[in-house]
């Protein structure tokens, strides 16, 4: 158990917060996050945090605005209770895709969220697989940006390379994800392919071509998140039409909005591997194709190192 540390969680991902505390041999801090009848959020800390190193675990996933507001109010409560340091542990950073002005007269929402977190009293941020790396620069406080790559690599090696890697090819779902996919391909000694797609509207994209040879290969699509799963399932069907032996997918954040799970269930994908940065809440939907890996040990180790003032650079792989 660590000394003078308090780990608190909002309501967005209590199972992950509990698992992180188990890796730290640390009890989850006492905090009540309730709602009044009109929807306003009330936060009440149940233990003394004065002069202590505090960590708030909260994914700003759906309902995004509620979870973001919970996080801000918890941070404000810790600041007013004289916590020595407040680290926002954000496994999934909502609004991350709005990281630039993609059209006239639109906000840069990811920057606004960063400003809100800082103004609330956050002194450090620990995030995982930000959709755009430049979001780190939106903060004027330290940001530790972890990647789920070690967790995914370990699973890929144990599951997909048991009988050799000659038939495995890694596929980037778009040009923006090439660097991420190339990194994994290099560590696996596998070739790389790229999906050529056109985005016609938000959450609407059309797959036009595959750059690379996927014939008779097991194609593993790598992405940072799966939202509506439209591009992913289109790409999987397209790859199978080109003669691939099998199509699989790995992603860090299972956003799974709209009909995503139904699309995956009825698609050519044989397996989809995600992490628990966002809780999976199936409601009578077939999730047999979904495999969830835990990032709790990785986040727990980062929290331990931050608390003990150790280097966390070896975790940035």
Catalytic machinery residues: 197
Question: Which residues, 6+ apart, have CB-to-CB distance to 108 below 8 Å?
Answer: 98, 99, 100, 101
Distances (CA, A) of 92 to 21, 58, 200, 277, 293: 18, 8, 25, 6, 15
Rounded to whole angstroms, how far apart are CA atoms 224 and 50? 37
Which residue in 15, 21, 20, 87 sits closest to 55, CA to CA?
87
Buried b (16+ CB within 10 A) or exposed e, 96-124: bebbeeeeeeeeeebbebbeebbebbbbb
Is 16 exposed, middle or buried (CB count within 10 Å of its CB: 0-12, 13-18, 19+)? buried
Question: β-pairing, 271-275 with 246-254?
Answer: parallel
């Amino acid at each position: 158990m660590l000394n003078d540390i308090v780990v608190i969680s909002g309501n967005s991902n209590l199972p992950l917060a509990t698992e992180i505390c188990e890796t730290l041999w640390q009890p989850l801090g006492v905090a009540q996050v309730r709602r009044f009848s009109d929807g306003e959020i009330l936060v009440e800390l149940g233990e003394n945090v004065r002069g202590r190193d505090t960590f708030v675990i909260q994914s700003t996933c759906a309902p995004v605005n509620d979870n973001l507001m919970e996080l801000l109010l918890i941070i404000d409560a810790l600041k007013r209770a004289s916590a020595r340091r407040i680290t926002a542990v954000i496994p999934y950073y909502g609004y991350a895709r709005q990281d630039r002005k993609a059209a006239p007269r639109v906000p840069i929402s990811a920057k606004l969220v960063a400003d809100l977190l800082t103004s609330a009293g956050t002194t450090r941020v620990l995030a995982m697989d930000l959709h755009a790396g430049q979001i780190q620069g939106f903060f004027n406080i330290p940001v530790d940006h972890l990647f789920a790559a070690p967790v995914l690599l370990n699973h890929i090696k144990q599951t997909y390379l048991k009988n050799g890697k000659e038939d495995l090819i890694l596929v980037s779902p778009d040009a923006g994800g090439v660097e991420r996919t190339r990194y994994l391909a290099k560590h696996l000694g596998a070739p790389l392919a790229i999906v050529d797609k056109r985005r016609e509207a938000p959450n609407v994209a059309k797959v036009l071509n595959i750059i690379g040879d996927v014939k008779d290969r097991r194609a593993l699509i790598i992405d940072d998140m799966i939202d509506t799963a439209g591009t992913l399932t289109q790409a999987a069907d397209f790859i199978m039409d080109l003669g691939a032996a099998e199509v699989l997918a790995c992603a860090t954040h299972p956003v799974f909005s709209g009909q995503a799970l139904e699309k995956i269930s009825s698609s050519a994908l044989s397996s989809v591997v995600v992490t628990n940065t966002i809780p999976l809440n199936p409601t009578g939907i077939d999730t047999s194709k979904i495999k969830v890996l835990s990032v709790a040990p990785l986040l727990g180790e980062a929290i331990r190192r931050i608390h003990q003032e150790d280097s966390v650079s070896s975790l940035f792989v």
